[in-house]
Amino acid sequence: MGKGKNKMEQYRSPYEAYPFLCDEGEDLRCDFELLTDEMASQTGLLAAKAAETGRKTTAAAEEQWKPERASVEERGKRKASEVAKEEAETRSRIHQELLWLCELIYHINPTLRTRLTVTEEETERLRKAVERLREECGDRCKRFVLTQGCESACIAHILRVRSKMLVRLIYRHCEQGHQVPERLLDLANLLSGYFFYLALKLNALEGVEEIDYVSRNY
């Protein structure tokens, strides 16, 4: 704010990056939109890394097993190659799912300013994805672990925290007297669960062991 200017005379740059950046400080709608924008962008980054790793896994599997030139000894590589191909298919599924989530988060983005357009069917799809990952993680999800491991898992953990920040922001918006669809809170909480289990799954795919965390307070 320039010298001598009051609040009503706040300078507005002609290059303003987003039209609502000058909203009143207590108006949380722009904060919600920036946070979901960040989450969608990080989800896109995670999808890109999943795709890159998947391509490398597929290439390695093809190199390991080439029937037309396999000797008796080399046929022992077939099982490892099949496992690698299954992993590549899993990574491809995760990549496609993350692209879907990236778009879903952008659909959530304008909710506080307009309306929620995410459907019950899409919410159920997310819930089922969370349940599937939880089952795939097995005993890994029953432990308190450090937020470490492969790079993709660490990004997923960041998104897990961002999702909880989103939940907190929605509650603050509600405390101001605004009403939000219950499904919005369901979606934000489901996203946190999804990225938590995804972090464990990505570590498992990379062969990274989880490190137990023991709190000194609880």
Segment 175-213, tens digit of pLDDT: 999 999 999 999 999 999 999 999 999 999 999 999 999
Q: Around Cβ 113, how many Cβ atoms within 10 Å?
A: 13
- The 10s digit of each residue's pLDDT in 92-129 is 999 999 999 999 999 999 999 999 999 999 999 999 99
Give this prediction's pTM. Answer: 0.86
Q: How far apart are CA 193 and CA 134, in angstroms?
A: 9
What would be the CATH architecture of the domain defined by 25-205? Up-down Bundle (1.20)
Residue 74 to residues 65, 66, 70, 152, 156, Cα–Cα distance (Å) = 8, 9, 5, 32, 37
